């Protein structure tokens, strides 16, 4: 069964304190791994798509990396506005299936 596990569940950091969020996955075949940011009461906002092991993508203070078993979202010198829930999802490579399997998310709080 395809499964995504994110850790930690919640993380509190001081402004400027860099850290990483983990997304471990088991999937029969990986079509893509996605990172989203979700603010309270809003829909998820797309951040990154990674397709193959070794791939990396960056956007401002965020950098996503991918291995064959996990993905990391590195946050460098975070600011309070980076506080949100970060969701990881995988898209299995089952023919015709486009649905995503989501992890439970990591609630990130950045204190000023």
Partner 1 sequence: GAVVSQHPSWVICKSGTSVKIECRSLDFQATTMFWYRQFPKQSLMLMATSNEGSKATYEQGVEKDKFLINHASLTLSTLTVTSAHPEDSSFYICSATGRVRGTQYFGPGTRLLVL
In 3-state terms, what secondary structure has residue 81?
Answer: helix
Which residues partner with 7 through β-bridges?
22
Residue 104 within binding range of partner 1, rule CB under 8 A: yes
Q: Does 45 bind partner 1 (CB under 8 A)?
A: yes
Instruction: Say how far apart CA 87 and CA 6 lie, in whole Å.
Output: 8
Shortest reach from residue 49's CB to partner 1, in Å? 5
Among 75, 87, 108, 110, binds partner 1 (CB under 8 A): 87
Which of 7/104 has CB closer to partner 1?
A: 104
């Amino acid at each position: 069964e395809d499964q995504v596990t994110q850790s930690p569940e919640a993380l509190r950091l001081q402004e400027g304190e860099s850290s990483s969020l983990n997304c471990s996955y088991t999937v029969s075949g990986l079509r893509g791994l996605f990172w989203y940011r979700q603010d309270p009461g809003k829909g998820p906002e797309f951040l990154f798509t990674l397709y193959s092991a070794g791939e990396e993508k960056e956007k401002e203070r965020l950098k996503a990396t991918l291995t064959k078993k996990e993905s990391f979202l590195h946050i460098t010198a975070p600011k309070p506005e980076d506080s949100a829930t970060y969701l990881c999802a995988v898209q299995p490579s089952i023919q015709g299936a486009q649905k995503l399997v989501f992890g439970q998310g990591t609630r990130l709080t950045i204190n000023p």
